[in-house]
Chain A
Amino acid sequence: MRIGTLKESYVADAALFDSRTQHAWLAIATALLLLFPFMASDYWLYMACLVAINVASSTGLNILTGYTGLVSLGQAAFMGLGAYTVAILQTRYGTPFLLNLLAGGVVAMLGGIVVGIPSLRVKGLYLAIATIAASFITHFLFANLRITGGTGGLSLPPARIFGLDLDTSFRLYWLIVPVMVLMLLGAANLFRTRIGRAFIAIRDRDISAEVLGIPLLRYKLLSFGLSSFYAGVAGGLWAYFFRVVTPESFPLSMSIFFLAAIIVGGMGSILGGILGAVFMTLVPELLKLVFDWLPGGADLTVFLSPVRLIVFGALIIGFLVFEPLGLAEMWRRTRRFFHLWPFRN
């Protein structure tokens, strides 16, 4: 509890951002997001867009795994469905990109609902294995259908708005980051509604949830659908970002990446999804910067690259050992410290 914060109504109690300090920080974060493209190099803009796409997809997986307790290894497959839908619509029909993104999300959602059907009978690792099938089936379809361009995949033209091609990281930033922010707000608000609460109830004890009047069939599939919708939109953004979509663009390892991101970040927390995706995407790059400072240059790169991977792995293990609740919990602890400051407890 923050010192001096008094809630006088349920609405105030349920608000996403409940204090002036939070509003101030929110304003600062928004200003930084708006200013960032004008200050950063192409490299950092690229990384920002990549992080934003990964945050969107991780948040989707967090809805399913973190909040509903259904482990999925199909997130990359759903991203692929979204990406291919966008690529096909863009190359064949030239439909507006926002419509394409929405269609990508919807197609992925339908895919997610189909893949989610086993969740009614199996849970945990069994469900994870069942969802792996999504990766293999979508890979087969992408590689063998004529409409998906076979193994060579599809190259798509840039998204276009008011005659302007969104073909640079700078321009794409203004598409990807706002969409990500909308998706984050959507996810955060979801858990203030009956649907979100039902997901949490299912995660905590599905039998009890059903006793409480939550239809498991509807809500589990809804969770799969929402999660896949997020993945589909993220995949659509991915397609506009890289502009080449091939069957090998969305491997199983990508699904593991997202699962790792929400575990490291903190499952069942919107902030956890964000921090996890940022950590998993940026830390390897930041480690490269650190290693770049070491003397030796190109001669040492070949020796230092494996070391960098080892350090990254050790960091993940370290976080899991010392903070099993993820980066979000570390953040909460830091916040609590400042909330109580100058008092110690």
Chain B
Amino acid sequence: MNPQRISSRRRSLMLGAAAAGATALTQPLSVLAQGAEEIILGGSIPMTGVFAFAGIGINAGIQDYLKIVNDAGGVKGRKIKYVPEDTGYKVDVSVATFKKITSQNKVNLYYGDSTGFAKTINPELDRNGNILMTGASFATELNDPKKYPNQFMVGPDYTEMFGILLNHIAKEKPGAKVAFVYSDSEFGRDPIESSEALAKKLGLSVPIKIMTPAGSVDVSTEVIKLRRAAPDYTIFHGYILAPIPEFISQGKQQGMTSKWMGTFWTMDSSTVMKMGEVGDGFMGVMPFRYYYDTEKAPMLEKIRAMRSEYQSTAYIQGFLATMLFTESVKRCLDAGKPLTGPNLKAALNTLKDFDTGGLIGVPITISGNSIPVGRVYKADMKAQKMVAASDWIKL
């Protein structure tokens, strides 16, 4: 066959592709029809990529809470529709997703997937004026209502997480030596400087701060440095799991007696349990109750009734984010105000001693962009569970 010849099959394939492309390009050019009463919750959700483990849980949490709300008739008769799309945890794709969802729907609520996205989309949120956003980021920078007036975070920011841990340490062992081990990333470096100052204020000392590459595996030289500093507590931040087990395992082998701690994204039960025996006693800050907690929590009971298998802390985060979104919408509608970003945020900031149904063990008040509450949990490898190691700590 002559290679220059285009067969009829290839021609029809080309025509088919062109037709499909034309339809695809023209379809989202107009805002699609939607029920006038529906409230849209858009989502740039990382269902693939490095953060998919959390995105899938967040997605399920949002869906489940909306099911509860919509099955009960919605918010003042208005149902909330969830429009998610996968981002692969890439900022440019997240922004494209935002543009796509907001082009096709009149969006009032949005869930974003990263600090980069939250920062990038902020001017767009301000210009749009109709959207309240939260997301998976707990970056300290976002906890600034002046700079980020239409955003909030579902939990304490990273500096506040360190604050909760340091408060716990100062109470448990006054004057203790605390080491910080963190990744060389925006996520990792976020709370370090401010937390060192806080540690000093609380009478604690920080004998060593170790920064490792984000994906590092061989940490033997860092462990030697850490052992020399002989900390009473070591706080890891900016990692999900690796290289924390390596640090603990080698540290224990070298006779270290430090207690090991982590922050939110390490603290999901399934993540900690992956550490195996070396993770026994691993502690960390968690703003939410775990799926299997036995303390009284009606909302956890509802979750357990909906899903019989373990749900991650990312799920609880998505679930609670949607609860707070819904409450803001409800308060806004009750006050007869239009659903704009500033109105929704103002409604959110009226939350005082709000009961989350036990997802957070104490009533919460959101006066700024964060919920500065958390609790220290500890891994019990025999029971394969995280158990409470402190009371709820409010900053």
Residues of A within 8 A of B (CB): 39-44, 46-47, 50, 143, 150-153, 155, 158, 167-169, 242-244, 246-249, 284-286, 288-290, 298-299, 301-302, 305-306, 308-309, 333-334, 336-337, 340, 344-345
Q: Does B29 contact A (CB under 8 A)?
A: yes
Q: Besides the contacts A41-B31, A284-B93, A298-B83, what 9 more A-B pairs have beta carbons closer than 8 Å?
A: A42-B99, A43-B96, A43-B102, A152-B141, A242-B120, A243-B120, A285-B96, A286-B21, A289-B28
Interface of B is mostly: helix
Q: Does B82 contact A (CB under 8 A)?
A: yes
* CB-based contact A46/B96 at 8 Å: yes
Contact partner, A305, options B29, B47, B96, B189, Cβ 8 Å: B47
* CB-based contact B29/A40 at 8 Å: yes
Within B71-107, the residues touching A (CB, 8 Å) are 82-86, 88, 91-93, 95-96, 99-100, 102-104
Which residues on the B side are within 8 Å of A305 (C-beta)? 47-48, 86
Residues of B within 8 A of A (CB): 2-6, 14, 20-21, 24-25, 27-31, 45, 47-48, 56, 59-60, 63, 82-86, 88, 91-93, 95-96, 99-100, 102-104, 116, 119-120, 123, 127, 141, 184-186, 189-190
- Can you list 23 residue pairs at the A/B interface with Cβ under 8 Å? A40-B29, A41-B28, A41-B29, A41-B30, A41-B99, A41-B103, A43-B100, A43-B104, A46-B95, A47-B96, A143-B184, A151-B185, A151-B190, A242-B95, A242-B120, A285-B96, A288-B85, A289-B27, A301-B47, A301-B86, A302-B47, A302-B59, A302-B60
Which residues on the A side are within 8 Å of B3 (C-beta)? 333
* CB-based contact B99/A43 at 8 Å: yes
* CB-based contact B28/A43 at 8 Å: yes
Which residues on the A side are within 8 Å of B2 (C-beta)? 344-345
Q: Taking CB as reference atom, which chain A residue is nearest B118? A: A244
Q: How far is the CB of B75 from chain A (nearest CB, A)?
A: 18
Given contacts A244-B119, A337-B4, contact A43 B86 (CB under 8 A): no
Q: How far is the CB of B9 from chain A (nearest CB, A)?
A: 13
* CB-based contact A309/B88 at 8 Å: yes
Q: Taking CB as reference atom, which chain A residue is nearest B97? A: A288
Which residues on the A side are within 8 Å of B99 (C-beta)? 41-43, 46-47, 169
Which residues on the B side are within 8 Å of A247 (C-beta)? 186
* CB-based contact B189/A155 at 8 Å: no
* CB-based contact A151/B59 at 8 Å: no
* CB-based contact B59/A248 at 8 Å: no
Q: Taking CB as reference atom, which chain A residue is nearest B59? A: A302
Which residues on the B side are within 8 Å of A46 (C-beta)? 95-96, 99
**Alpha-carbon gap, A248 to B4, bound state (A):** 45
**Alpha-carbon gap, A288 to B123, bound state (A):** 26
* CB-based contact B5/A344 at 8 Å: yes
Which residues on the B side are within 8 Å of A150 (C-beta)? 189
* CB-based contact A249/B28 at 8 Å: no
Q: Taking CB as reference atom, which chain B residue is nearest A41? A: B103
**Alpha-carbon gap, A155 to B126, bound state (A):** 15
Q: How far is the CB of B318 from chain A (nearest CB, A)?
A: 12
Contact partner, A42, options B45, B59, B103, Cβ 8 Å: B103
Q: Taking CB as reference atom, which chain A residue is nearest B46? A: A305
Q: How far is the CB of B210 from chain A (nearest CB, A)?
A: 16
Which residues on the B side are within 8 Å of A43 (C-beta)? 28, 96, 99-100, 102-104
Q: Taking CB as reference atom, which chain A residue is nearest B62? A: A298
* CB-based contact B6/A337 at 8 Å: yes
* CB-based contact B86/A308 at 8 Å: yes
**Alpha-carbon gap, A146 to B63, bound state (A):** 43
Q: How far is the CB of A274 from chain B (nearest CB, A)?
A: 16
**Alpha-carbon gap, A305 to B232, bound state (A):** 44
Contact partner, A301, options B59, B186, B190, Cβ 8 Å: B59
* CB-based contact B84/A249 at 8 Å: no
Which residues on the A side are within 8 Å of B141 (C-beta)? 152
**Alpha-carbon gap, A248 to B117, bound state (A):** 12
Q: How far is the CB of B72 from chain A (nearest CB, A)?
A: 19
* CB-based contact A248/B186 at 8 Å: yes
Which residues on the A side are within 8 Å of B100 (C-beta)? 43, 285
Q: Taking CB as reference atom, which chain A residue is nearest B101? A: A43
**Alpha-carbon gap, A42 to B184, bound state (A):** 35
Q: Taking CB as reference atom, which chain B residue is nearest A40? A: B29
Which residues on the A side are within 8 Å of B185 (C-beta)? 151, 248
